[in-house]
């Protein structure tokens, strides 16, 4: 008889249940981890709603969840040879590249040319291969990193989005002293502020609203309430008329992206992590972007930034835990999701505990 575990299983669009599924078997270069914390990501409600048919997931059922931390319980001997041990405290990311294609060899395994080809070893946990809304999570050693004893499991589960924020900030080519506009004050924006500050940004401005904007201010960013103020005008005012040299675009709205275009300094960069709604075909002032030599950087996930993010979070002593506003046992996932999606009770990162 195979062992079973509790998990959230998605059986179709908007149709999920808290149920029992088999505990996965460990394969070559893999570890089986007891999941201690798993955070709800902004992508999860879209996956659950069936917004990416035939892609995330390719087929049902799926166990979603990809922002997780936990402890290694079982491991393959090849994983052992690579230095992993039982009881190691780890956190994970979703992408597992094939490891052999030219994109993987360049280190850009988030753009693996064999995306979706499980035979060649590609995985994307919680997107089309099993994820972390479960008591146990099977992961390739390519997609985990150790977390220090001083880091909580909740903070560890935030290292996936934090390493995405870091990738976005690095891709903005931020130089010491550069002015930065963080567009959006959700979790990704707040983490972007932390990354920009720790990488030596000068003036950091944030455009957002509500309680999240207040949190952004406590992190040392100058707040602009986009609902009440003219964002580009205010950014120019705060940057001596120049505009922000680096923009971290986390708003994901047409208006937000247009405001980013209107707020960027000559020779600057707009580094984008958010996906605009629908097909994403929006109007931007391309002529102005060309003439001002604006770099547009798209960012997908977190290639090679997980360990960097952990080190940065540790050395800068950011209070990552303070971004975690809610904690639920996995059995209360429906409620957790409702609070997260509705941004209820000033929620930011909502954490589930599969083994609570
Ligand atoms: Zn995520
Ligand atoms: Zn590849």
Task: Please give the pLDDT value at position 25.
Answer: 96
For ligand 1, the distance from its centroid to the CA atom of residue 43, given in whole angstroms, is 6
The string of pLDDT tens digits covering residues 48-57 is 999 999 999 9
Question: In the predicted model, what is the mean pLDDT of the chain?
Answer: 96
Query: Which ligand places an atom closest to the C-alpha of 98?
Result: 2
- CA dist., res. 244 & res. 76, Å (int): 49
For ligand 1, the distance from its centroid to the CA atom of residue 293, given in whole angstroms, is 31
Task: Please give the pLDDT value at position 280.
Answer: 86
Give the dihedral sign, CA 207/42/310/99. Answer: negative
Task: Please give the pLDDT value at position 132.
Answer: 98
Token representation of residue 234 = 């205010």
Task: Please give the pLDDT value at position 318.
Answer: 82
For ligand 1, the distance from its centroid to the CA atom of residue 272, given in whole angstroms, is 15
- CA dist., res. 298 & res. 272, Å (int): 5
- Does pLDDT of 27 surpass 90? yes
Comparing CA positions, the residue from 7, 12, 28, 9 lying closest to residue 77 is 28
Percent of the chain at pLDDT exceeding 70: 100
Q: Where are the domains of the chain?
A: 4-146+319-353, 162-298
Token representation of residue 146 = 């150790």
Spell out the residues 6+ positions from residue 51 whose beta carbon is closer than 8 angstroms to its own: none
CB atoms within 10 A of CB 334: 13
- Does pLDDT of 269 surpass 90? yes
Query: Which ligand places an atom closest to the C-alpha of 103?
Result: 2
The string of pLDDT tens digits covering residues 133-172 is 999 999 999 999 999 999 999 999 999 999 999 999 999 9
For ligand 1, the distance from its centroid to the CA atom of residue 172, given in whole angstroms, is 20
For ligand 1, the distance from its centroid to the CA atom of residue 66, given in whole angstroms, is 6
For ligand 2, the distance from its centroid to the CA atom of residue 96, given in whole angstroms, is 8
For ligand 2, the distance from its centroid to the CA atom of residue 107, given in whole angstroms, is 9
- Overall average pLDDT of the 189-197 stretch: 97
For ligand 2, the distance from its centroid to the CA atom of residue 58, given in whole angstroms, is 18
Query: Which ligand places an atom closest to the C-alpha of 132?
Result: 1
| Contact by Cβ (8 Å): 167, 303 | yes
For ligand 1, the distance from its centroid to the CA atom of residue 127, given in whole angstroms, is 10
Look at the pTM and tell me if it is higher than 0.95: yes
For the stretch 254-260, contacts whose Cβ atoms lie closer than 8 Å and that sit 24 or more positions apart, written own/partner, are 254/282, 254/283, 256/183, 256/184, 256/207, 256/226, 257/183, 257/282, 257/284, 258/282, 258/283, 258/284, 258/285, 259/183, 259/207, 259/226, 259/231, 259/232, 260/181, 260/183
For ligand 1, the distance from its centroid to the CA atom of residue 41, given in whole angstroms, is 4
Query: Which ligand places an atom closest to the C-alpha of 107?
Result: 2
CATH of 162-298, picked from 3.40.366.10, 3.40.50.720, 3.40.50.2300, 2.40.33.20, is 3.40.50.720
For ligand 1, the distance from its centroid to the CA atom of residue 102, given in whole angstroms, is 25
Query: Which ligand places an atom closest to the C-alpha of 96?
Result: 2
4-146+319-353 placed in CATH 3.90.180.10: yes
The string of pLDDT tens digits covering residues 202-217 is 999 999 999 999 999 9
Task: Please give the pLDDT value at position 266.
Answer: 98
Spell out the residues 6+ positions from residue 164 whose beta carbon is closer than 8 angstroms to its own: 188, 191, 273, 299, 301, 302, 305
For ligand 1, the distance from its centroid to the CA atom of residue 203, given in whole angstroms, is 28
Per-residue pLDDT band for 20 (boundaries 50, 70, 90) equals: very high
Task: Please give the pLDDT value at position 1.
Answer: 56
Task: Please give the pLDDT value at position 316.
Answer: 81
For ligand 2, the distance from its centroid to the CA atom of residue 287, given in whole angstroms, is 35
The string of pLDDT tens digits covering residues 116-129 is 999 999 999 999 99
For ligand 1, the distance from its centroid to the CA atom of residue 161, given in whole angstroms, is 6
The string of pLDDT tens digits covering residues 327-355 is 999 999 999 999 999 999 999 999 999 99
């Amino acid at each position: 008889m195979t062992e079973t575990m509790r998990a959230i299983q998605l059986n179709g669009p908007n149709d999920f249940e808290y149920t029992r599924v088999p505990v996965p078997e460990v394969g070559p270069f893999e570890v089986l981890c007891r999941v201690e914390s798993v955070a709800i990501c902004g992508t999860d409600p879209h996956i659950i709603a069936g917004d990416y048919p035939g892609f995330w997931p390719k087929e049902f059922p799926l166990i979603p969840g990809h922002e997780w931390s936990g402890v290694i319980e079982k491991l393959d001997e090849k994983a052992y040879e690579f230095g992993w041990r039982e009881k190691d405290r780890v956190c994970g990311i979703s992408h597992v590249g094939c490891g052999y294609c030219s994109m993987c060899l360049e280190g850009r395994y988030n753009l693996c040319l064999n995306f979706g080809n499980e035979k060649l070893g590609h995985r994307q946990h919680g997107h089309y291969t099993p994820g972390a809304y479960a008591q146990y999570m099977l992961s390739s050693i390519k997609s985990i990193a150790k977390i220090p004893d001083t880091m909580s499991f909740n903070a560890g589960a935030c290292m996936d989005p934090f390493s995405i924020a870091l990738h976005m900030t690095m891709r903005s080519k931020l130089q010491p002293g550069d002015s930065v506009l963080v567009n959006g004050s959700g979790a990704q924006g707040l983490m972007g502020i932390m990354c920009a500050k720790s990488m030596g940004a000068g003036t950091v401005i944030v455009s957002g609203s509500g309680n999240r904007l207040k949190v952004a201010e406590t992190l040392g960013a100058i707040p602009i309430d986009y609902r009440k103020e003219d964002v580009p005008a205010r950014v120019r005012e705060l940057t001596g008329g120049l505009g922000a040299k680096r923009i971290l675009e986390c708003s994901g709205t047409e208006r937000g992206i247009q405001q980013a275009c209107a707020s960027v300094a000559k020779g600057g960069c707009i580094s984008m992590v958010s996906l605009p709604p629908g097909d994403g075909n929006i109007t931007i002032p391309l002529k102005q972007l060309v003439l001002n030599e604006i770099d547009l950087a798209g960012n997908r996930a977190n290639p090679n930034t997980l360990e960097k993010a952990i080190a940065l979070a540790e050395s800068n002593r950011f209070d990552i835990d303070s971004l975690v506003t809610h904690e639920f046992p996995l059995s209360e996932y429906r409620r957790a999701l409702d609070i997260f999606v509705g941004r209820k009770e000033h929620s930011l990162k909502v954490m589930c505990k599969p083994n609570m």
